[in-house]
Structure 1
Amino acid sequence: MVTLRLATARTRVRTPAVSPGVLIPALCFVVMITSVMQTAVVPLMPDIAAQLGVGTNAVGWIVTGNLLTATVCTPLLGRLADRRGPRRVLLGILGVVLVGSLLCVAWDSLPVLIAGRALQGTSFALFPIGVAVLRSALGPYRLTAALGIMSGTMSVGGGAGMIAAGLLYSDGDDYRRVFWLLVALAVIAAALAWAVVPGSPGSGTGSGSDLWGAVGLAVGLSALLLALAQGGTWGWVSVPTIGCVVAGVLVLAAWYRHERRSDAPLVAPALLTARAVAPAHLAAFLVGIAMFVQFLATAVFVQAAPEEAGYGFGASVLETSLLYLLPGQVVGISAAAVSGFLVRRFRAERVLMVACAIGVCGFAFVGFAHDRPWQVIVAVAVLNVFVSVAYGALPAMLVEHVSLHDTGVANGINAIARTFGSSLASALVGMLLATITIAGADIPSERAFVAAFVIGGVAALAAGFVAGASRPLQFTKFD
């Protein structure tokens, strides 16, 4: 049910146990490991397959299992944090992530590696729970800037993961060298969270009262994500792919009907579809598409051998990380540092519109000009500004309109929207690179990359229109 009340009128701001100058950087590090764990593994996939003696399709479950766990657990853990308090749930997630990371290095086995990656997938819930921590610990004036910094830091973590992989791994090394880094990051993040994150009470209501809601959400989201993740392998019009899509849609429709009728829903339907929050979720989905198109298409493009493809620069993973991604990461971190202040000054919707316009310019530039390394480096830097600022604006669009005790689940839904956008982008880019090829060769054509950049630009443009069409509602609260 949606009622109109002043969202901040009944919210008690808890005094943090530590100063914001310590809490904010610590949480930035904690949530950043989500992106690092997601992307550090991507460059290693071919070598993991070779070292374990498995096929490409089998090793793909290292990513698919991670995303499935993220999709299922993020909204559920966000709601659990709202009810039980974010600190204890945050520490519990970091413990699970550490166990998963240890599994990845303990045995040289694909099933164990997939299981470890699945446990690492719970890290996707760190960001929405981090938002809940900041909201309970900081006053409204500091909150907006802190959200911008933390969101932007997470957005650049993806590039940081690629850079770390390039620095730690070279051909012939044991792939587990990179996973040892993930173990170290999990340990450091857990120690920081234990020492720094303040305790705060949850709502304490509704726990364990919506089992069918949890099952329906998990099954429906998993079916849709499985279709996106495996559609390229199964075939986009194959029975398994279409079956997963149909099953996912039907289950989610039944889940939504159940949640509308429930007295204590796991996720209030208004947190999905109400006019105050739906634009933020749709914009997150579109930004997720644009972000992953930029990341994936650029990384593949610069590594293409020019003597074979007629484009690209033949860059190694290390060169890709340091030469083409690192400058953009530096620019993105700088943009993240100021995004929160921009949101506080000009409102989140307007900042998101400007960020999306910058993204459209970046995609247009790289689509037309990609013959020289400096052109790609500049484009990546511009696109990192877009992603960092957009990530900072999205949670601010939500916290204005939801109560304190809905912060975790609302941002969990938003994070899943980004995940689905990224998964769709991965499928689209993969399909383009596989179908638009050079005549007589199994090599993607330059036109495939241009088409991918066009898709990224269209997604950024659409996100800007969504932000512009949204109407801020100052006094909305979801019960």
Structure 2
Amino acid sequence: MTVTTGPRPGSPGVRGRALVPALASCGTSVSLMNTLPVPMLPRLSEVLHTSPSNASWAVTATLLAAAVCTPISGRLGDMYGKRRVMLWCLSLMVAGSLLCALADSVLVLVVGRALQGTGAGILPLGLSVMRDEVAPERLGRALALMSSSVGLGGALGFPLAAFMAQYVDWHAVYWLATVTSVANLLLVRWCVPASPRATGGRFDHVGAFGLTVVLTLLLLGISRGTEWGWTGPYTLGAFGGAAVIGWVWVHHQLRRPEPLVDLRASVGTSLLATHVAALLVGFSMFALSMILPQILQLSRATGYGSGLSMVSAGFCLAPAGVVMMLLSPRAAGACARWGARSTLGCGAAVMGLGYAAGIPLWGGVWGVVAVSVVVGAGLAFAFAAMPALIVADVRPEQTAAANGLNTLMRSIGMTVSSAVMTEILSRDWDAASVAGAASLVPSAAGFRTAFATAALAAVAAAALTPALRRRRGAGGSPAR
């Protein structure tokens, strides 16, 4: 049964006007959490007296927690109210950030990073809140802004963390994360009203546990495959366990009257194509942070590196996030005029063109910046289209769960991209003279293959758009 409470969509007042910026701020903060430790990993292994492999769990733990919590928080939000679950997620993110800021061992840091990862559940909940509270004529623009905020956080996180890692104690990064998490918690508490729709019902604890195990095994196998060996017993065991438990979990979900994930709805409509497109777009998006920083920081002696510092390389990537934010209103307008389906296809195609332009490794620093800006522009349109397609295809009380599954697919795509790009770039090495000493660096052929792979993923996402159903989109726009 649906319980209706709270204000009507488009509620006036300062709080109503601040709602969309507050939710976009939450999206930026969540994306920022994923990026923060990446430039600091080499330093973390030294200051925490641990191996690089153990230090890398600071990234892996967040990806795992985010993947597990995103669909679960979406379902809980539909059942018990989005505002309540958002506050839970933000509270865990505050606790995790504070734990990281106080960490003096890798174990404490990894636990804190896992708690930070639970904040990823805010993204689908925020999109669902917008559907409940934002007037229909403003909904498309609001969804686009929330989606593009993810790209802004990723683009700003790298230079910010790089600057702090180079000039400030690494704990300062997590003190900053604590402050931003508390600020977002207060913003949500003040701006977000009680959910007008709460379905109630019984939570599927068995399904949640099964999904946790499946995703943990799957993402462990993907993220650790290069280290363990793709045919090694640990990798094969992780993939095999995920397949077996996943098969049992699917049958459990199909038998449940109130499943954690409505698989029939996801497979029986164009939502399936939207989720696969999200996986491919996530794959293509994350390749940007795997390829470009390395090219920018490699020595000029390689013939294709730019020889920049970590901080300078980070600032070269920031314009892509700014472009995403600036283009989000245009992307919303494109969804309204040409439909979300066409917008997704065009955005993914632009991403593919951007990566294809990078294959010759031309233009030095400005060439890399141009590639990142074009890919960022394509992401702005692709990200704006996906929530609009979901809003067009599900009932209001299913919005958070459907967006949660879509965000999960994007996270899986990012994890797969990390593993694939690492494998591509580590498979072919060239000898180069760096600072007067011989050094092995990824070859030009490896970077070209990485660019081509990211381009193919984006083109594949564009090719899926004919499978998306023609329906009315956000704000009455056709999802053609």
TM-score by length of 1: 0.93
Deviation by residue 1:301-328 (Cα, 9 ceiling, x = unmatched): 1111122x33211111210122x11222
Q: Does 1:169 align with 2:165?
A: yes
The 5 Å alignment of 1:388-427 reads 388-427=380-419
Correspondence for 2:66: 70
Q: What code does the residue aligned with 1:382 have?
A: V
Deviation by residue 1:153-209 (Cα, 9 ceiling, x = unmatched): 2122101111211333316x421121111111101111111111111144343223x
Correspondence for 1:37: 33
Q: What code does the residue aligned with 1:457 have?
A: A
Instruction: Specify the SS of the correspondent of 2:261.
Output: coil
Q: What code does the residue aligned with 1:427 have?
A: A
Question: What is the aligned length?
Answer: 460
Instruction: Specify the SS of the correspondent of 2:441.
Output: coil
- Taking the aligned partners of 1:279 and 1:13, their CA distance within structure 2 comes to 32
Q: Does 1:156 align with 2:152?
A: yes
- Report if aligned partners of 1:100, 1:116 keep a CA contact under 8 Å in 2: yes
- Report if aligned partners of 1:145, 1:343 keep a CA contact under 8 Å in 2: no
- Report if aligned partners of 2:274, 2:386 keep a CA contact under 8 Å in 1: yes
Correspondence for 1:55: 51
Instruction: Specify the SS of the correspondent of 2:307.
Output: coil
- Taking the aligned partners of 2:311 and 2:329, their CA distance within structure 1 comes to 27
Q: Structure 1: state its 5+ residue gaps.
A: 1-11
The 5 Å alignment of 1:6-25 reads 14-16=9-11, 18=13, 20-25=16-21
State the 1:221 CA deviation. 1.4
- Taking the aligned partners of 2:81 and 2:116, their CA distance within structure 1 comes to 21
- Taking the aligned partners of 2:346 and 2:456, their CA distance within structure 1 comes to 15
State the 1:18 CA deviation. 4.3
Correspondence for 1:312: 305
- Name the CA shift for 1:17/1:87 in 2 (closer, same or farther; >3 Å): farther
Q: What code does the residue aligned with 1:205 have?
A: G
State the 1:89 CA deviation. 0.7
Correspondence for 2:3: none
- Report if aligned partners of 2:283, 2:417 keep a CA contact under 8 Å in 1: yes
Q: What code does the residue aligned with 1:431 have?
A: E
Q: Does 1:94 align with 2:90?
A: yes
Instruction: Specify the SS of the correspondent of 1:438.
Output: strand
- Report if aligned partners of 1:339, 1:392 keep a CA contact under 8 Å in 2: yes
- Taking the aligned partners of 1:441 and 1:47, their CA distance within structure 2 comes to 20
Deviation by residue 1:265-303 (Cα, 9 ceiling, x = unmatched): 111112431222011100000000100112210111111
State the 1:471 CA deviation. 2.4
- Report if aligned partners of 1:149, 1:338 keep a CA contact under 8 Å in 2: no
Q: What code does the residue aligned with 2:318 have?
A: L
Correspondence for 1:276: 270
Q: What code does the residue aligned with 1:218 have?
A: T
Correspondence for 2:4: none
Q: Does 1:27 align with 2:19?
A: no
Q: What code does the residue aligned with 2:187 have?
A: L
State the 1:346 CA deviation. 1.4
Correspondence for 2:175: 180
- Name the CA shift for 1:13/1:286 in 2 (closer, same or farther; >3 Å): farther
Q: What code does the residue aligned with 1:437 have?
A: W
Q: What code does the residue aligned with 1:87 have?
A: R
State the 1:15 CA deviation. 5.0
Residue identity over aligned pairs, in percent, reads: 33
Instruction: Specify the SS of the correspondent of 1:169.
Output: helix
Correspondence for 2:114: 118
Aligned match for 2:186, one of 165, 188, 191: 191
- Taking the aligned partners of 1:447 and 1:37, their CA distance within structure 2 comes to 32
Q: What code does the residue aligned with 1:361 have?
A: L
Instruction: Specify the SS of the correspondent of 2:442.
Output: coil
- Report if aligned partners of 1:359, 1:382 keep a CA contact under 8 Å in 2: yes
Higher relative contact order (CA 8 A, sep 6+): 1
- Taking the aligned partners of 1:456 and 1:338, their CA distance within structure 2 comes to 24
The 5 Å alignment of 1:259-338 reads 259-307=253-301, 309-322=302-315, 324-338=316-330
Q: What code does the residue aligned with 2:23 have?
A: L
- Taking the aligned partners of 2:440 and 2:364, their CA distance within structure 1 comes to 24
State the 1:368 CA deviation. 1.8
Deviation by residue 1:135-169 (Cα, 9 ceiling, x = unmatched): 11023222111101110121221011112113333
Correspondence for 1:449: 447
- Taking the aligned partners of 1:56 and 1:320, their CA distance within structure 2 comes to 22
- Taking the aligned partners of 2:175 and 2:222, their CA distance within structure 1 comes to 29
State the 1:76 CA deviation. 0.6
- Taking the aligned partners of 2:270 and 2:322, their CA distance within structure 1 comes to 33
- Report if aligned partners of 1:168, 1:177 keep a CA contact under 8 Å in 2: yes
- Taking the aligned partners of 1:125 and 1:340, their CA distance within structure 2 comes to 23
Q: Structure 2: state its 5+ residue gaps.
A: 1-6, 432-437, 474-480
- Taking the aligned partners of 1:423 and 1:17, their CA distance within structure 2 comes to 41
Instruction: Specify the SS of the correspondent of 2:393.
Output: coil
- The worse-fitting range, judged by mean Cα deviation, of 431-440 and 132-141 is 431-440
Q: What code does the residue aligned with 1:463 have?
A: A
Correspondence for 1:345: 337
Correspondence for 1:249: 243
- Name the CA shift for 1:143/1:473 in 2 (closer, same or farther; >3 Å): same
- Taking the aligned partners of 1:387 and 1:18, their CA distance within structure 2 comes to 32
- Name the CA shift for 1:260/1:83 in 2 (closer, same or farther; >3 Å): same
- Taking the aligned partners of 1:397 and 1:196, their CA distance within structure 2 comes to 26
Q: Does 1:107 align with 2:100?
A: no
- Name the CA shift for 1:202/1:469 in 2 (closer, same or farther; >3 Å): closer
- Name the CA shift for 1:49/1:148 in 2 (closer, same or farther; >3 Å): same
Aligned match for 1:430, one of 422, 426, 433: 422
- The worse-fitting range, judged by mean Cα deviation, of 371-380 and 82-91 is 371-380
Q: Does 1:200 align with 2:195?
A: yes
- Name the CA shift for 1:106/1:441 in 2 (closer, same or farther; >3 Å): closer
Correspondence for 2:457: 459
Q: Does 1:224 align with 2:218?
A: yes
- Report if aligned partners of 2:199, 2:397 keep a CA contact under 8 Å in 1: no
- Taking the aligned partners of 1:17 and 1:54, their CA distance within structure 2 comes to 53
Instruction: Specify the SS of the correspondent of 1:442.
Output: strand
- Taking the aligned partners of 1:160 and 1:404, their CA distance within structure 2 comes to 33
Correspondence for 2:206: 212
- Taking the aligned partners of 1:446 and 1:371, their CA distance within structure 2 comes to 14
TM-score by length of 2: 0.92
Correspondence for 2:233: 239
- Report if aligned partners of 1:276, 1:471 keep a CA contact under 8 Å in 2: yes
Instruction: Specify the SS of the correspondent of 2:429.
Output: coil
Instruction: Specify the SS of the correspondent of 2:362.
Output: coil
- Taking the aligned partners of 1:388 and 1:343, their CA distance within structure 2 comes to 12
- The worse-fitting range, judged by mean Cα deviation, of 99-108 and 269-278 is 269-278
Deviation by residue 1:196-225 (Cα, 9 ceiling, x = unmatched): 1111144343223x2221111111111101
Q: What code does the residue aligned with 2:274 have?
A: A
- Taking the aligned partners of 1:369 and 1:236, their CA distance within structure 2 comes to 29
Correspondence for 1:469: 467
- Taking the aligned partners of 2:12 and 2:69, their CA distance within structure 1 comes to 28
